[in-house]
Structure 1
Amino acid sequence: MRSSLIIMLKGFIIGSSMSVPGVSGGTMAILLGIYDKLISSISNFLKDIKGNTIFLVKFCLGAGVGIGSLAFVIQWLLEKFPFMVSFFFLGAVIGGIPALYVKTKEKKFGISSFIYFALGLGIVISIGFIPIGNLDIASGSGTLYYLMMLVTGIIIALALVLPGISTSHMLLVLGMYDSMLAAITNFDLVYVGILGVSTLIGVFLITKPLEYLMNHFPHQTYCMIIGFVIGSTSEIFSEKIIPAIPDYATLTWWIPSLLMAVAALVLGYIAILSLSKFSND
């Protein structure tokens, strides 16, 4: 029972935090110590159908409740208190890094570690610079249109599985964000169904090689993942923290804001450090 509650709690936190800019579901799964188990359950689903199904159902129940409830609260808090909430999540990222680095199986941060870390960091930051709207595959018809939707689903799966990559940003780049929202609100089951099935196919295609890399090349893979995770925080700064600073901020604004930001950062650090101890990996 305790194990089941922890799995659902982590799913709840991951689902609710997905509305935060720069915090992908993969990032939170990594920080909470459940990422490896999720990848393994999907990648090796047929090896233990009953056990993997039970685990995934528990996780999805928690994530579904999180998306449907606390996500709106977090979004409201981000709009009202962007400075403090954003620093809370920055603290959560910092708190999860030590446990994540242990998975690299390296005692010291050497030159090779830095190279793979820089590569992961560069990939995530560069994705953020991809112009939005240059591609538009949301319109059209015929076989090619549905084929492109299948490709889109696989790209979405990549964003869902890899930590640090924003799914919403990838949808914007592909010109699919507005059409996806419209399809959900208009109950376009064909559109959502094709995209959902293709995303599911993409998840199964990606998890197997990812699990192989994590098991056979843990140093390189986890150093890159650390880069992904830290790089994802750039969106928190650009979307929430910097816009929250008044144009003519005075000491009366800076002093209390910084004090509360530091307190939120420490709280986020302690929270993720505590939760990551209950690892399901």
Structure 2
Amino acid sequence: MKANLKNNLLLIIKGFIIGSSMSVPGVSGGTMAIILGIYDKLISSISNFLKDIKGNILFLFKVCLGAGVGIGTLSFLIKWLLEKFPLPISFFFLGAVIGGIPALYKKTKATSLKISSGVYFLLGLLIVISIGFIPVGNIDVTTGSGIGYYIMLLVTGIIIALALVLPGISTSHMLLVLGMYDAMITAITEFNIVYIGILGIATLIGVFLITKPLEWTMNKFPHQTYCMIIGFVLGSTSEIFREKILPSIPANADVKWWILSVIMSVAAFILGCYAIGSLSKYSND
């Protein structure tokens, strides 16, 4: 009973970390789920939902409960910390992402490095970095009317689902690319049930459509898939550099600022690596 309680609590904590970290640029929910060792189970629970409805509902409820609490509480603290202490906090999450790479590498089931491994890794790396450079606001699906408008909302929901499911792809960045970030915030604050409902249903449909082929790929080609995922995860760190680390360096920074910032950032990076390394030992996969 104690072991069961411990496992449930650990699962909720992992969900909490996933939810709270989603406010950090370059850290996607999928990335944190993989690093924390519950990504495979999440994909399987959604993909094979009807095979064990009770078990899958319980698992997803625990993760979503933790994620919901994380989004509703700690995400605001993280946003505040990123504004006040952008360098050390950004390096903490950078350490958390990189600290999870050894656990990911184990999932490739590789006995030795191959040229093909590097090819798949580079492919994943380039895909995520390229997405990060897509200009925001060039596409606008927030206005319109009629059937065509709602079809575009459905397509948008599927794109959002892709960003939610695939690790390393920032959902907030995809919303900005689609010109929907502000519209989503407005719809939530104004309780636009129709807009949120259509987009939510479309996203849910997209998640179910994507998880089945993704699970098949992960089971059939684990080495290639996880090599690409490592590329996704490392590629996502470029957004942390672009959005937080580089803009927070003052043009006229003196030697004292550099010394203090480097010490704090290195300490935060090591702490992030250690924290995720410790949690990844309690993998559910």
* Common fold by TM > 0.5: yes
2:69 aligned with 1:65, yes or no?
yes
For 1:180 and 1:260, the matched residues in 2 are separated by 36
Letter in 2 for 1:68: G
| 1:55 paired residue among 42, 59, 78 | 59
Q: Which residue of 2 aligns with 1:131?
A: 135
Q: Which residue of 1 aligns with 2:104?
A: 100
Shift of 1:250: 1.7
Q: Which residue of 1 aligns with 2:184?
A: 180
| 1:5 paired residue among 6, 9, 12 | 9
| 1:91 paired residue among 86, 89, 95 | 95
Give runs of ≥4 in structure 1 deviating > 6 Å.
none
Q: Map 1:124-203; keep pairs closer than 5 Å.
A: 124-203=128-207
Letter in 2 for 1:238: R
Shift of 1:182: 0.8
For 1:248 and 1:109, the matched residues in 2 are separated by 44
For 1:136 and 1:240, the matched residues in 2 are separated by 26
2:238 aligned with 1:231, yes or no?
no
| 1:109 paired residue among 103, 113, 130 | 113
2:48 aligned with 1:44, yes or no?
yes
Q: Which residue of 1 aligns with 2:220?
A: 216
For 1:178 and 1:252, the matched residues in 2 are separated by 39
Provide the secondary structure at the position in 2 that maps to 1:187.
coil
2:270 aligned with 1:243, yes or no?
no
User: What TM-score do you get using the length of structure 2 for normalisation?
Assistant: 0.98
For 2:216 and 2:108, the matched residues in 1 are separated by 14
Shift of 1:110: 1.7
Provide the secondary structure at the position in 1 that maps to 2:24.
coil
Q: Which residue of 2 aligns with 1:206?
A: 210
| 1:77 paired residue among 57, 78, 81 | 81
Provide the secondary structure at the position in 2 that maps to 1:22.
coil
Letter in 2 for 1:235: E
Structure 1: 5+ residue runs without aligned partners?
none
Provide the secondary structure at the position in 2 that maps to 1:38.
helix
Letter in 2 for 1:253: W
Structure 2: 5+ residue runs without aligned partners?
none
User: What TM-score do you get using the length of structure 1 for normalisation?
Assistant: 0.99
Q: Which residue of 2 aligns with 1:31?
A: 35
Letter in 1 for 2:77: V
Structure 1 residues 9-45: Cα deviation after superposition (integer angstroms, max 9, x where no partner): 0000000000000001001101111111100000000
Shift of 1:109: 2.2
